Structure 1
Amino acid sequence: MAHYKAEQDDWLIVYLKYLLFVFNFFFWVGGAAVMAVGVWTLVEKSGYLSVLASSTFAASAYILIFAGALVMVTGFLGFGAIIREDRSCLSTYFCLLLVIFLVELVAGVLAHMYYRRLSDELKQHLSRTLAENYRQPGASDLTTSVDRLQQDFKCCGSNSSADWQHSAYIRSREAEGRQVPDSCCKTVVERCGQRAHPSNIYKVEMKENAWGPGGPLELVRDLGGV
C-alpha cells in the first residue's frame, strides 16, 4: 500500500511539473507578444508623437517593452526552476509572479482613474494644434504627423472638417483658397482641399478613428481597461 501511494505521489508530482511547464510556456509567449507590441508601436506609430500633448503614448510603449522583458526573464527563471526542480528558484519564480500581478493591478487601477482626464486633454490639445500650429514655421514634423494621421484614419479635423475653419493656415494666403488641408481628401492631389464636399473629403471625426483599432490613442484607452 505504501509503495502504491509513493507511485501515486510521484505521478502527481510529474503531472504538476508538466502543467507548470505548459503554464510557464504560455506566460513566456505572452511576455514576448507584449514586448513585440511595444516595439511595433515605437517603430510604426512614432510619427504621431508630435501630435500628442504628453509623452503618454511613448511611455506606454516603453512600459509594454519593459513589462514584456520582465515577463520573459521570469519565464526563463521558471523553466530553469522546473527542469532543475530547485525549490529556491521556484520560490523566487512565484514571488516574481506575485509582484508582476500586483504591479499590473496597480497600473490598471491608476490608468482607469486617469483615463478620462487624459482623453479630454488629448482631444483639446489636438483641436488647438490644428488651429494654431499646422503649416506654421518650425512645425514641419507636426504638420507631417497631422497629414499622416488624417490619411491613415480617413478623417478630417479633430471633431469634424469644420475645425479647419479656425486654422491659421486655412485663413492665410498660403492656403490658396483651401477649405481643408489636402490630406483630408479621399484622393490627394494638389489643391484638392479647395472643395470641402463629402464626396471629396473625409467627414469622419479624427478622434473616433484615432481611438479605434491600431490608432495612436488606443494604448491610452487599453491601459484604462486593464
Structure 2
Amino acid sequence: MSVEYKDDQEDWLTVCLKYLLFVFNFLFWVGGAAVLGVGVWTLVEKSDYLSLLASSTFAVSAYILILAGSLVVVTGFLGCCAVIREQRSCLSTYFFCLLFIFLIELVAGVLAYVYYQKLSEELKQHLNQTMTENYAQPGKEAITLAVDRLQQDFKCCGSNNSHDWVASVYISSKQAENRVVPDSCCKTITPVCGRRDHPSNIYKVEGGCITKLEQFLADHLLVIGAVGIGVACLQSI
C-alpha cells in the first residue's frame, strides 16, 4: 500500500512539474514575443533615420533583440517537446539556450543604455555635418531621403535651425535653383518652395531637428534597454 501511495505521489509531482514547465514556457514565449516585437518596431519605425547616425549601435541593439526573440520561439518549442517526451538531453539543451538568450538580451539592453548616454553628443557632432555635406549629393540618396523625411515628420528645418542650410553644399550649388532651404522644410511642399524662408512658409522649431531626433531615438533606446534587461531578468528567475 505504501509503495502504491509513493508511486501516486511521484506521478502527482511529475504532473505538477510538467504544468509548471508549461506555464514557464508560455511566459517565456510572451517575453520573447515582446523582445522580437520591440526589435522589429525599432527597425521599421522611422528606419530611414539610421543613415543619419554616425554609430551603428542603435541598429545593432535592435538586431540583437530580433535574434533573441527568434531564438525564444525555437527554444520554447524545444522546451515543450522536452517536457512532453520527458527527455533529459532536450531539457539540458533547453536550459543552455535559456542562458544563452539571457546573455543576448542583457547585451542588447546594456548597449542601448550605453548608447543612450552618448546619443546627444554624437548628434551634436555629426548631424549638422551629415545634413549639410551629403544632402542631395551623388550616391547619398539614402541620406537625402532620411533628411527630407526627418524634416517633414518632425516639422523642423536644419540641424539646429534653418540657417544651418546656408553652409550646405546643395544650397550653394546650381542644383538648388536659388533655394535657401530644401523643399522638405516647407509647411506645404510645392516646387521650389524652399526659396522663401519666412516662418509662414517653412518650419521654425526651437532646437531644430536635432532636438526632435534626439528625443525620438532616446525614447526608442529606453524601450530597447528596458525590454532587453527587464525580460532577461524575468527569464533568469
TM-score, length-normalised on structure 2?
Answer: 0.75
Q: Percent identity?
A: 67
For 1:206, give the aligned amino acid: C
Structure 1 residues 44 and 64: CA distance shift in structure 2, 3 A: same
* Greater relative CO (CA pairs within 8 A, separation 6+): 2
Unaligned residue ranges in structure 2 (runs of 5+): 230-237
Secondary structure of the 1:168 match is coil
For 1:136, give the aligned amino acid: Q
Structure 1 residues 38 and 107: CA distance shift in structure 2, 3 A: closer
Secondary structure of the 2:16 match is helix
Query: 1:158-207 deviations in whole A, cap 9, x for unaligned?
Result: 22333223322224444334332110122111122233234432334323
Structure 1 residues 172 and 96: CA distance shift in structure 2, 3 A: same
> 1:100 maps to which residue?
101
Query: 1:65-110 deviations in whole A, cap 9, x for unaligned?
Result: 2212221121111111122222332233223222322333344334
Query: 1:34-71 deviations in whole A, cap 9, x for unaligned?
Result: 33554565566453343222333443343232212221
RMSD of the TM alignment (CA)?
A: 3.2
Query: 1:129-158 deviations in whole A, cap 9, x for unaligned?
Result: 112121234433321221122223332222
For 1:75, give the aligned amino acid: G
C-alpha contact 1:60 1:219 (8 A) present in aligned 2: no
TM-score, length-normalised on structure 1?
Answer: 0.78
Structure 1 residues 162 and 22: CA distance shift in structure 2, 3 A: farther
> 2:210 maps to which residue?
207
Structure 1 residues 107 and 57: CA distance shift in structure 2, 3 A: closer
> 1:90 maps to which residue?
91
Distance 2:21 2:109 in 1: 26
> 2:170 maps to which residue?
169
Structure 1 residues 109 and 33: CA distance shift in structure 2, 3 A: closer
> 2:36 maps to which residue?
35
Aligned: 1:17 with 2:13: no
Distance 1:10 1:165 in 2: 79
Unaligned residue ranges in structure 1 (runs of 5+): none
Aligned: 1:193 with 2:194: yes
C-alpha contact 1:48 1:216 (8 A) present in aligned 2: no
How many residue pairs match? The answer is 224
C-alpha contact 1:151 1:183 (8 A) present in aligned 2: yes
